[in-house]
């Protein structure tokens, strides 16, 4: 069957190339391999029903049974579980084994023209991508929210007209932009904030018309930019690929014999933090979701971090201060001996620059990048307060050991929680409140062990559910209420069973600081 989405995406690609390079660069498909090079790949499985390929937005699932979203029978009726089948979590997990299919190709909400994707919510025209929410005209990308006209991008927020961008917030018109915010008209940059019209630069704030961190003025900048873009677009049209900015910088560092300069920086002013405020939020959230207040959140760290994005503890190369390097959007591959804290990065960025004579070609710039290439794994945007061991946060309050948080409060052990409140152990929750171990889901209120779901309340151990109120151990269902194992119960029955199940879960958590079953392994019970 002919693609409906691709022609529209190909047109958007060509328009984006014209915006960035002043000309079209050819067919979108010709650049597929290059665009996907730093994108989080979906997990590919075969449907247990049809044998067709299905795509999933995470690799965390056990080796269970899989189906495509179009193969799920949302109207199928199931009988209630027996008393023996519902007496404890082990019994329920065993009883629902024939109902537990992990669905790939999940597309939920008001979404249209989505092809070859997984975990897409409220989007139009998305192709070959995964984990995309509230976006349009997106191809070969992953982990995208509130964006449009993106190609080959990873971990994107509120960004337009971007090609091969990695971790962005409020970006417009950019190519090979890494870990930057509030910036427009940027090419081959890392760690910019509040900038416009910059190329081949690191760690600049409120700067414009810079190449190699050197301010040139508009006329000189435009002249050199035109020459460099002609060189880049010419190679792209010929080879359908181009080295990434990170690779260019790493090659220059590797080839250079120059030691890292010794920088003298003013004493750092560390923010006052209040870990107890986050402990209070942890206790409140567990009480509301699990029915029991858990305490000492650090004792549960291994459990809640299990399905989140990894972080490595490192140190600044100029001060030795602690920082965290995150494992997403290929940012884990930055040189570990050239790391800077957020406040240090802009001070260093002002001090280092290339000479104008080194800017005449991409090759010359690339050879000299070691002079300015320092990497800040942190990013701060807007007003923030009390974010502890959370390297990336924007308009966030009370974050703890979370890789990326934004526009909300009380984030604990989570990865890219956005527009949420009171979440623990979550990855890519969106517009959700009081969620624990909730993954790739949107608009969840009071959830625990939830994956790939939307518009649900009081949901536990469930996958691919939409508009479900009060559900436990449900797979691939919509518009149910008080359901266990896809079967509905009376209010009194459901309340009784739910209370017993949550009590068992809380007991096990307090005793072992973990749970035997989670949403990613209950589909393999008995296998």
Which residues in the chain land under pLDDT 50?
A: none
Within a domain: residue 226? no
In a domain, 441, yes or no: yes
Cβ-Cβ contacts under 8 Å for 210 (sequence gap 6 or more): 195, 197, 198, 199, 201, 204, 216, 221
pLDDT value of position 1: 53
**Strand partners of residue 175:** 163, 187
**CA 328 to CA 333: how far, in whole Å?**
10
Is residue 434 domain-resident? yes
Q: Which residues are within 8 A (CB) of 454 and not within 5 positions of it... i.e. 6 or more apart?
A: 108, 109, 121, 441, 442, 443, 444, 465, 466, 467
What was the pLDDT predicted at 315?
A: 98
Q: Which domain holds residue 479?
A: 275-314+380-524
Angle between the N-to-C axes of helices 275-290 and 491-512, in degrees from 0 to 180, rounded to the nearest 10? 140
Could you tell me if 328 and 403 are in contact, meaning their C-beta atoms sit under 8 angstroms apart? yes
Any domain includes 117: no
250-294 residue pLDDT tens: 999 999 988 888 888 888 888 899 999 999 999 999 999 999 999
Give the total number of structural domains in the chain: 1
In a domain, 21, yes or no: no
Is residue 477, in this structure, part of any structural domain at all?
yes
Query: Residue 177's pLDDT is what?
Result: 99
Quick check: is 219 in a domain?
Answer: no
pLDDT of residue 259: 86
Q: Is residue 152 domain-resident?
A: no
Structure tokens at 252: 């220059």
Tokens representing residue 254 in the block:
């590797």
Q: What is the pLDDT of residue 264?
A: 86
* Beta carbons of 415 and 426 less than 8 angstroms apart: yes
pLDDT the model gives residue 130: 96
């Amino acid at each position: 069957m002919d693609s409906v989405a691709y022609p529209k995406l190909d047109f958007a690609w060509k328009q984006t190339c014209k915006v960035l390079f002043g000309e079209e660069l050819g067919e979108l498909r010709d650049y597929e391999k290059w665009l996907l090079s730093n994108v989080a790949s979906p997990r590919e499985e075969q449907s247990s029903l049809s044998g067709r390929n299905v795509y999933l937005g995470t690799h965390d699932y056990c080796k269970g049974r899989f189906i495509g979203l179009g193969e799920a029978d949302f109207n199928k009726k199931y009988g209630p579980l027996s008393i023996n089948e519902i007496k404890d979590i082990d019994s329920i997990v065993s009883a629902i084994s024939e109902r537990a299919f992990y669905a790939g190709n999940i597309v939920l909400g008001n979404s249209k023209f989505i092809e070859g994707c997984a975990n897409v919510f409220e989007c139009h025209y998305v192709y070959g991508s995964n984990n995309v929410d509230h976006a349009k005209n997106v191809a070969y990308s992953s982990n995208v929210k509130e964006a449009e006209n993106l190609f080959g991008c990873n971990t994107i927020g509120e960004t337009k007209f971007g090609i091969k961008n990695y971790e962005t917030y409020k970006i417009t018109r950019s190519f090979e932009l890494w870990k930057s915010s509030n910036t427009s008209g940027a090419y081959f940059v890392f760690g910019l904030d509040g900038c416009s019209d910059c190329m081949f630069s690191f760690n600049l704030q409120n700067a414009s018309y810079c190449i190699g961190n050197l301010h040139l003025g508009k006329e000189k900048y435009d002249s050199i930019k035109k020459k460099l873009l002609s060189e880049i677009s010419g190679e792209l049209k010929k080879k359908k690929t181009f080295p990434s900015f990170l690779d260019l910088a790493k090659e220059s560092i590797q080839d250079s014999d120059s030691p890292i300069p010794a920088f003298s920086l003013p004493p750092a002013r560390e923010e006052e933090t209040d870990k107890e405020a986050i402990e209070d939020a942890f206790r409140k959230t567990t009480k509301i979701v699990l029915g029991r207040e858990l305490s000492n959140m650090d004792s549960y760290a291994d459990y809640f971090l299990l399905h989140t994005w990894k972080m490595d503890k490192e140190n600044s190369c100029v001060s030795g201060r602690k920082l965290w390097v995150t494992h997403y959007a290929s940012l884990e591959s930055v040189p570990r001996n050239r790391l800077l804290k957020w406040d240090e990065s802009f001070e260093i960025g002002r001090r280092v620059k290339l000479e104008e004579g080194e800017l005449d070609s991409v090759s010359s710039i690339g050879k000299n990048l070691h002079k300015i290439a320092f990497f800040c794994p942190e990013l701060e945007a807007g007003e923030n307060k009390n974010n502890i061991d959370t390297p990336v946060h924007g308009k966030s309050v009370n974050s703890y050991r979370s890789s990326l948080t934004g526009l909300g409060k009380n984030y604990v052990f989570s990865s890219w929680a956005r527009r949420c409140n009171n979440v623990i152990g979550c990855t890519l929750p969106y517009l959700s409140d009081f969620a624990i171990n909730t993954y790739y889901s949107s608009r969840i209120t009071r959830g625990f062990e939830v994956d790939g779901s939307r518009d649900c309340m009081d949901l536990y151990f469930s996958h691919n559910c939409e508009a479900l109120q009060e559900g436990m151990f449900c797979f691939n269902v919509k518009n149910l209420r008080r359901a266990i194992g896809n079967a509905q119960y009376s209010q009194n029955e459901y309340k009784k069973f739910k209370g017993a199940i949550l009590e068992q879960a809380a007991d096990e958590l307090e005793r072992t600081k973990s749970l035997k079953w989670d949403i990613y392994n209950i589909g393999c019970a008995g296998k």
